[in-house]
Chain A
Amino acid sequence: MNAATPQRRRRRSIFGQLTAASILIAVLAVAVLFAVTLLTVQRQTRASLSATVSTDLAGLIDIYATAGREELLQRVNDRQAVVSLEGRRSHYLVADGAGRPLAGDIAKWPPLDAARSEQGFLALSDGTKVYAQGARLAPGLQLLVAREYERDSAAQTMLSGAFLGVGAAIVAAVALVAWLTARHLARRMDAVNAALGAAADGRSARFPARSRGGDEIDEIAAHGTRLLARKAQLLKAYKQVSEHVAHEVRTPLMHLDNRLASAMQERPEAPGGPLGQARDEIRSIAAMLDSLLDIASAESRRGDLAGLAELDLSALARSLAELYEGSAEDAGLLLETAIAPGVTMLGERMQITRLLSNLLDNAIKYVPEGGTIRLSVGPGPRIVVEDDGPGIPHDQRSRIFERFSRVTAPADPEGPEKPGHGLGLALSKAIAERHGMILHLGDSPRGAKFILEPAP
């Protein structure tokens, strides 16, 4: 297929990125909120445990201070069965100075310094997890009060579970809303994009109608519509001007030509007479005007796919080769072809025919007798017209595609002027570019080598 068709790469959609970002933000927000809540709850639990344990401890110290050691031991044994209102089971230990138990249900003094009234979370020897605080009552007597906090842990686990559930629901909701919004926006954007792409390729384009809100996408679409209208208007104006120029120049030329034709009828002259020459010149002026307008027209439609159709380049090249074979032979030249079958391209048949005719005409015009012209067509499409004639002098290579530039052969500077206006290659180049292709000179040991291939 033709390489002039623009390849559309799948781009990364900003809407996909926005959806991903929304989900990420929702996940992060839920996680931070969860962490903060959990820390607060944990701190609160600890403060509450600390207060409970301290109060209990203070009460027992008070009992010891007022009622003495025996009363304390008695009370400690009584209290062991008590479960607090918060559901926290209590444990106690009254021990001597070396930590040996005297009363209570805790078997062993934990690593808490009673002299400094240390408190903290710890595990008892039977594995029960508690919050405990120790106190030194007398040099040979120390007291430990502990509270289980299993209920508080369970509450925290429930909180975590609730957070995870609600968090997941929030993230899912955000994802759904973001995806739906993004999909809606992406569809509208795609419609605008498709219209812009079509407009750029010169195909018929229609921008989507305004949505209810009239947002930024609507603005882009509105600008696109205005741009299209402006482009159409410019093209129309250009066409009108060129048509009027052509009409206004050609009409008087035609009248002049008619008069010359009548004059020739009244006074017939031999072929090559002045009236015949004048008529030829009139045709030449009209042809030059047409070529200039054709160049302008091809340049104005560069990259425009409108009006292009699939054409069988191989068949066209074979037909042209057959048409030119005789002319080449008459000029003492050999026209060789290497045409791969089934090469097609998107093109304007008349224009491509014209381009190839120009190249073949040039070769026949400039290659001296005994030379060879070679026309090859390959996939790509790549078309090469090369010859073994005098070639293009190096100092002229850069400007042969300019308007009105004529090649002067170095071998034959005084040679007869070749007919033409020097517009053929400029037109060929413009036609190539109008098809998204380039026409350039290839390197060749001798002769000229014109290559037509898709623009890089």
Chain B
Amino acid sequence: MSNLNILYVEDDPRAAEAVRSLLDADGDRLAWEQTGTGGLQRAGAEPFDVIILDRMLPDIDGLTIVSRLRAAGVGTPVLMLSALGRSENRIEGLEAGVDDYLAKPYEPPELVARLRALHRRAAGAVHGAVIIYGAFECHVKARTAFRSGRHIPLSPREFALFRYFMENAGETVTREMLLRDVWNMNFDPQTNVVDVNIGRLRRKLEDGFSSPALETIWGAGYRLTRGE
């Protein structure tokens, strides 16, 4: 897992400190800017892997910063971290050019997972017709799944889930990512619907094996194991 170079624009020192200690523990580098102007300048001057942006900054509104960055041709993925977490606020963020939107209060592991996912997406990993990770094999064209050479029968949606985990092998996948990328849904119902679907896939992947296939990352989501 590569370490990320992250810019955080946030006026609240306590919020910034919480993120810093979180990312320090993960080995990432965090540059903190307390004002929108400072953030805008720094984002244009230095290359970052991901930018975390607070929305309500005292000088420039976070949405304006994103628009200006995009207009200036800065394509660095932006995660907006905001106390405004309603669906309406998310839509506004996404329309302004934000790549992901996380509401405060958030689960620290989820923030980390999302930052990594953003970086991966920006890096644009290309997958072949067969994805292999540990004991798992995913034949994309044939839409078949194998664990340790044994075929695992999956429904089309279960296969789509499995494939998503394979494409993000070894990484934490959040519920929102699954809803967005597997069910094409930009809204999190806040119930356990995703967990139920994961549970069903997990049962199929683990049926007849002694080691787990999917592990739950508390507060963030799920991660595919090597299955060995």
A interface residues, Cβ below 8 angstroms from B: 243, 246-247, 250-251, 253-255, 257-258, 261, 282-283, 286-287, 290, 293-294, 297, 307, 315, 319-320, 322-324, 326-327, 330, 348-351, 353-354, 357, 361
Structural contact, A361 and B191, CB atoms closer than 8 A? yes
Structural contact, B83 and A294, CB atoms closer than 8 A? no
Q: How far is the CB of A366 from chain B (nearest CB, A)?
A: 13
- Is B148's CB within 8 Å of the partner chain A? no
> CA separation between A258 and B18, bound complex, in Å?
8
Residue among B15, B185, B193 making CB contact with A254, cutoff 8 Å: B15
Structural contact, A361 and B189, CB atoms closer than 8 A? yes
Q: Chain B contacts of A257 at CB under 8 A?
A: 105
Q: Chain A contacts of B192 at CB under 8 A?
A: 327
Residue among A247, A261, A326, A348 making CB contact with B83, cutoff 8 Å: A247
Structural contact, B189 and A354, CB atoms closer than 8 A? yes
Structural contact, B83 and A254, CB atoms closer than 8 A? yes
Residue among A293, A320, A326 making CB contact with B199, cutoff 8 Å: A326
> CA separation between A322 and B157, bound complex, in Å?
8
CB pairs A–B below 8 angstroms (8 shown): A254-B15, A254-B104, A297-B88, A319-B183, A323-B179, A327-B192, A330-B199, A351-B87
Q: Chain B contacts of A293 at CB under 8 A?
A: 86
Structural contact, A251 and B191, CB atoms closer than 8 A? no
Please indicate which of the listed interface residues A250, A293, A294, A348 has the most CB atoms of chain B within 10 Å of its own CB: A250
Specify the chain A residue showing the minimal Cβ separation from B87: A350
- Is B211's CB within 8 Å of the partner chain A? no
- Is B210's CB within 8 Å of the partner chain A? no
Structural contact, B12 and A251, CB atoms closer than 8 A? yes
Q: Chain A contacts of B197 at CB under 8 A?
A: 323, 326
- Is B90's CB within 8 Å of the partner chain A? yes
Q: Chain B contacts of A254 at CB under 8 A?
A: 15, 83, 104-105
> CA separation between A315 and B183, bound complex, in Å?
10
Structural contact, B105 and A322, CB atoms closer than 8 A? no
Q: Chain A contacts of B191 at CB under 8 A?
A: 327, 357, 361
- Of residues 55 to 113 in B, which have CB atoms within 8 Å of A's CB atoms? 56, 83-91, 103-105, 108
Contact string, B1-35, partner A, CB cutoff 8 A, digits 1/0?
Answer: 00000000000101100100000000000000000
Structural contact, B186 and A246, CB atoms closer than 8 A? no
Residue among A246, A324, A357, A361 making CB contact with B86, cutoff 8 Å: A246
Q: Enumerate the 9 nearest inter-chain pairs by beta-carbon distance, A residue then B residue, closest first.
A: A250-B83, A254-B105, A257-B105, A357-B189, A326-B196, A353-B187, A254-B104, A247-B83, A327-B196
B interface residues, Cβ below 8 angstroms from A: 12, 14-15, 18, 56, 83-91, 103-105, 108, 157, 179, 183-187, 189-194, 196-197, 199-200
Residue among A243, A258, A349 making CB contact with B56, cutoff 8 Å: A243
Specify the chain B residue showing the minimal Cβ separation from A324: B193
Q: Chain B contacts of A246 at CB under 8 A?
A: 83-86
Q: Chain B contacts of A354 at CB under 8 A?
A: 87, 187, 189
Q: Chain B contacts of A287 at CB under 8 A?
A: 190
> CA separation between A394 and B108, bound complex, in Å?
46
Q: Chain B contacts of A253 at CB under 8 A?
A: 105
Specify the chain B residue showing the minimal Cβ separation from A298: B88
Structural contact, A250 and B105, CB atoms closer than 8 A? yes
Structural contact, A251 and B196, CB atoms closer than 8 A? no
Structural contact, B14 and A255, CB atoms closer than 8 A? yes
Q: How far is the CB of B174 from chain A (nearest CB, A)?
A: 15
Q: Chain A contacts of B14 at CB under 8 A?
A: 255, 258
Specify the chain B residue showing the minimal Cβ separation from A283: B105
Q: Chain B contacts of A348 at CB under 8 A?
A: 91
> CA separation between A323 and B196, bound complex, in Å?
9
Q: Chain A contacts of B89 at CB under 8 A?
A: 243
Q: Chain A contacts of B12 at CB under 8 A?
A: 251
Specify the chain A residue showing the minimal Cβ separation from B21: A262
Specify the chain A residue showing the minimal Cβ separation from B185: A353
> CA separation between A357 and B184, bound complex, in Å?
14
Structural contact, B86 and A250, CB atoms closer than 8 A? no
Structural contact, B87 and A319, CB atoms closer than 8 A? no
> CA separation between A350 and B18, bound complex, in Å?
30
Q: Chain A contacts of B85 at CB under 8 A?
A: 246, 250, 286, 290
From known contacts A243-B56, A324-B193, A326-B200, infer whether A350 and B91 are also in contact, taking CB-CB under 8 Å: yes
Structural contact, B183 and A322, CB atoms closer than 8 A? yes
Q: How far is the CB of B149 from chain A (nearest CB, A)?
A: 27
Structural contact, B184 and A319, CB atoms closer than 8 A? yes
Q: Chain B contacts of A258 at CB under 8 A?
A: 14, 18, 105
Q: How far is the CB of A390 from chain B (nearest CB, A)?
A: 20
Structural contact, B104 and A251, CB atoms closer than 8 A? yes
Specify the chain A residue showing the minimal Cβ separation from B178: A323
With A247-B84, A326-B193 given, name 7 new contacts (CB 8 A). Answer: A247-B56, A247-B83, A255-B14, A297-B88, A350-B87, A357-B187, A357-B191
Q: How far is the CB of B200 from chain A (nearest CB, A)?
A: 5
Structural contact, B185 and A323, CB atoms closer than 8 A? yes
Structural contact, B186 and A327, CB atoms closer than 8 A? no
Specify the chain B residue showing the minimal Cβ separation from A257: B105
